[in-house]
Structure 1
Amino acid sequence: MKVETRKVQQVGHSTLMVSLPKEWVIATGLSQGDILTLQQDDDGSLHILPVGVSEKREIVKSIVDADKCEGHSLLTRIITGIYILGYETLEITSKKGFESDQLAEIRQSIQRLTGMSIVEQGMNHVVIKNFVDPTRFPTNGLLRRIYIITSWMQEASIQALKERRKSLANEVLHMENEVDRIYWLVVRQMLLAVKDKHVAKMIGIESPLNIVGDRTIAKVLEKIGDLSENVATEVLTILDSDYTIEKPVLDELDNVYKLVHDVYDTATKAFFAVDIHRSNETLEKVENVKAAQKQVIDTILSGFRSSLEKRGGPVIYESVDAYVALRAMLWSFSQIVEYCGTIAEITLNRALEKPSDLCHFERLPSAE
């Protein structure tokens, strides 16, 4: 980015004037009598645009050579990356012709990306277009949707364990794909907001600082989705074994889930409301849950020993698998709580960006 300086000059009694860079004038095709729009941003900067420049947006097609995508899942990652970068048209080519597994990979990739669809396909090329209007998906709405899904995933996993319902646990695994799909859309929205202030305004981005925070929150929620999937996976491990979890252990595990859910709910509500008091409450609850989890681990170990004593004989492998799965579930819950702390910290910082009755700002006189 080229930076130039201009001296402000006075014309007449009250008019100040600054000359425009010659190269910019030539590049935009400006001439005497043309109209410019001036946009003042919150950071004090002034953006100058010729009228109608937004209507002349350049459309760029991305072209990918599938023959060079030899690494495992490389083609999938490239398609996802191009989607995130905001390109509307993607052409995938292959001089030697597509293999059936390559076409399957392309189809599977676009199924997990909102708005992507194959519009043209030949022996040596596939054209994919994105039909999503970014202004129709406010960021907070997408983030709230991820929270709702992941919260249900955690509840369903515990219910599946208590009721021994494998079908419910398997449904949780399917819902993780929906979390990923929304996450990629959020990231795409963030990058488009950086490039286009109009898009940023339409999707609820009030300040450039919010883009960094929202991007972090999106990643945190996506990670919570992964951890919620892990909980369901461990539930299936337990249900596939012959090990019966004793009621005291189940009760303790259910109590931990309720504590985790409470922290998660408080953290997300604080974020969407930009509530500094709730964010502080979240950070306090995080420490309480950590202490509760230690108690549950002791209860699980005690229940495991009691079960082995009742059965008698050597340690049964299924019992060990179940115990390891229970510990893994608790670890996933502990990580979810840690991520809730991250959400609370971002919320607290965002609340301090604007003056309030709790904290306001005063300008100090400049030093001589």
Structure 2
Amino acid sequence: METRKIQQVGGGTYTVSLPKEWATAADIEPGAVVALHSHIDGTLVVQTDVGEAGVEPLTLSVVDVDSATLERTLWAAYAAGIDALELEFSDGVTEETHRRVERVTRNLTGVTVTDSSDDAVQVRSLLDVEEVSITQSVRQLQFAALSAHREATAALTAATLEAPSGQGDSTDRIAAMVDHYVQRGLDSLSVMDALGLTRPALFDRWVTARELARVVDHADRIATTADRLDDPVDAALAADVDDLADRSRDLVRESVGVVLEDAGDTAAARRCLDDRDELVADIRAFDRRLYETDAADYRLTHAVDALRRTTESAGTVAEVGLQSLLRERCSSASVAVGQAP
């Protein structure tokens, strides 16, 4: 790291010299124009490329046009933060190919087919970043994840076996949108500013969203277990499962609150971590008890394991929240050396 002294010129303009090695590497010569970008975290960036050219689409050749290949390609590009994509098809664009592309883009927030030719289809993300709230998206993902988890548990413990309605498409769409804009924010400070978040805050929300997506996976596993059971779960065991599941969802909700709430505190984060440890111990004790219960279907252990993993996901979010709070307190110099935060 190099340091430079700020100089004052004329009636108040401040100047600072640029390291010659950096200027040479960036092809900057006297008279060149650069852009200065002030980020909300206090960072000042010198940008050498100040052109206003539009976003050129990334061109990909697609050989296999089956639905799975198209879906993987489009979802991967979207999650990578790519706003414009042109798919070239060696065998040409048929009506069925066009429908398949449109079917996938309907599940990607803000993405639509913008152009089509005999051998290529172009898709773009048209959602204005100014309209995106990562924090609100994480809240929506939390609601959808916990709803899926609640429905799956109800299907498992109900007196009559019923299949849950499922929240998969909704949660996948929200999680992918978070991935998309987090990646864009990491690539562009202007996008980061539009999102209204610093890099650490954006990363915290991304980790939270990933853990909530895992909660959905755990809910799917519970639902699958419910579907495979031959008979309803014993009433006494069902009551215990319901209690453990309720506690795991409460813990997810409280942990996400630590990350997203402005009024979050380290005490709340630590309570979540203590509750995580206690609940994991209770789930493991219940799992051991299942082996001693003749009325228990051995497949029920898969659902119990999903509850443990749900609890651990909540703990991961709480740890992120605690780290964020400590980082904020450290940056504001509010914690004295040797003083417990």
Band of TM-score, shorter chain: 0.7 to 0.9
1:12-42 residue CA offsets vs partner (Å, 9 max, x unmatched): 8997644564765569953xxxx96563764
Instruction: Identify the range of structure 1 (137-146 vs 15-24) with the bigger mean alpha-carbon deviation.
Output: 15-24
TM-score by length of 2: 0.82
- 1:78 is aligned, of 73, 76, 79, to 73
- The structure number with the bigger radius of gyration is 1
Of residues 172, 175, 185, the one that matches 1:180 is: 172
- The CA distance in 2 between the partners of 1:253 and 1:132, in whole Å, is 42
Tell me the equivalent position of 2:181. Answer: 189
Mapped partners of 2:96, 2:30: distance in 1: 46
1:221 is matched with 212
In structure 2, distance between residues paired with 1:333 and 1:181: 24
Task: Give the drift of 1:237.
Answer: 1.5
2:52 corresponds in structure 1 to 56
What is the SS of the residue equivalent to 2:115?
Answer: strand
TM-superposition CA deviations, 1:169-228 (whole Å, max 9, x none): 1x12xx1121111111101111121233232233231x2222332222221111111111
Are 2:125 and 1:127 aligned? no
Give the equivalent residue in structure 2 for 1:265: 253
**Structure 1 equivalent of residue 311 of structure 2:** 337
Q: Deviations over 1:97-137 (max 9, x none)?
A: 25787556534432321111223334422121222112212
Distance 1:350 1:131 in 2: 32
Distance 1:109 1:256 in 2: 37
Q: Which residue of 2 aligns with 1:94?
A: 89
Shifted more, 15-24 versus 152-161: the winner is 15-24
The CA RMSD measured in Å over matched residues stands at 3.6
Shift in alpha-carbon separation, 1:4–1:90, aligned structure 2, 3 A: farther
1:312 maps to none
Q: When you count helix as a share of all residues, which structure comes out higher?
A: 1
1:28–1:98 CA distance, 2 compared to 1 (3 A): farther
Whichever residue aligns with residue 188 of structure 1, its letter is H
Relative contact order higher in (CA < 8 Å, ≥ 6 apart): 2
Which aligned pairs between 1:167-316 and structure 2 lie closer than 5 A? 167=163, 169=164, 171-172=165-166, 175-205=167-197, 207-238=198-229, 241=230, 243-273=231-261, 274-303=264-293, 305-306=294-295
Unpaired stretches in structure 1, ≥5 consecutive residues? 308-321, 364-368
Question: Residues of 2 paired with 1:137 and 1:75: CA distance?
Answer: 26
Ranges in structure 2 where 5+ consecutive residues have no aligned partner: none
Normalising by structure 1, report the TM-score.
0.76
CA contact (8 A) 1:249 1:299 kept: no
CA contact (8 A) 1:63 1:91 kept: yes
- Contact 1:60–1:87 (Cα < 8 Å) also in 2: no
| Aligned equivalents of 1:36, 1:302: Cα separation in 2 | 70
Deviations 1:273-313 (Å, cap 9, x if unpaired)? 2432111011101111122213322443344x247xxxxxx
Counterpart CA distance in 2 for 1:129 and 1:251 is 49
